[in-house]
Amino acid sequence: MKAVVQRVSRAEVRVDGNVTGKIEQGLLVLLGITHDDNEEDLAWLIEKIIHLRIFPDLQGKFNRSLLDVSGSILLVSQFTLYGDCRKGRRPSFDKAAAPEQAQTLFDKAIGMIRQKSIHVKTGVFGALMDVDLVNHGPVTFILETPAKKG
């Protein structure tokens, strides 16, 4: 599982010109899911994201988490995070999870975030979306779940 996490002062996603999700201060999370991802991977990633200390304290140091600042999450599914561009000119998406598996885990991610009492908005799974954001900092991190052994 991969996530691109951007600290934002605002972000929104539109489908067919209609806003489906909009937040103010918080995180825009682009979530990519691969074949062997499971709920354990998802739980690890959600915990990492919400506790990541990437918001400034009074001295301007990264010491505060999303929870500390009462921020929101705009969660957007993005299978292209598993696009392989190493060969040829057209990306291969062989490593991206099948839509049914990805949607199941995406929906579980929404539930896990809500269980932490975090305000979460989303795009529409599988839709062509327009994402608008103000990346505050800019601050952007790429997170991946630990490699599986076995």
DSSP at 33: -
Query: Could you tell me which of 111, 128, 125 has the C-alpha nearest to residue 33?
Result: 125
pLDDT in tens, the chain (150 residues): 999 999 999 999 999 999 999 999 999 999 999 999 999 999 999 999 999 999 999 999 999 999 999 999 999 999 999 999 999 999 999 999 999 999 999 999 999 999 999 999 999 999 999 999 999 999 999 999 997 654
Q: Where are the domains of the chain?
A: 2-144
Q: Which fold has domain 2-144?
A: D-tyrosyl-trna(Tyr) Deacylase; Chain: A; (3.50.80)
Question: What's the predicted TM-score (pTM) here?
Answer: 0.95
Cite the active site residues.
Answer: 78-80
**What is the DSSP secondary-structure string of 121-144?**
EE--TTS-EEEEEEEEEEEEEEEE
DSSP at 94: T
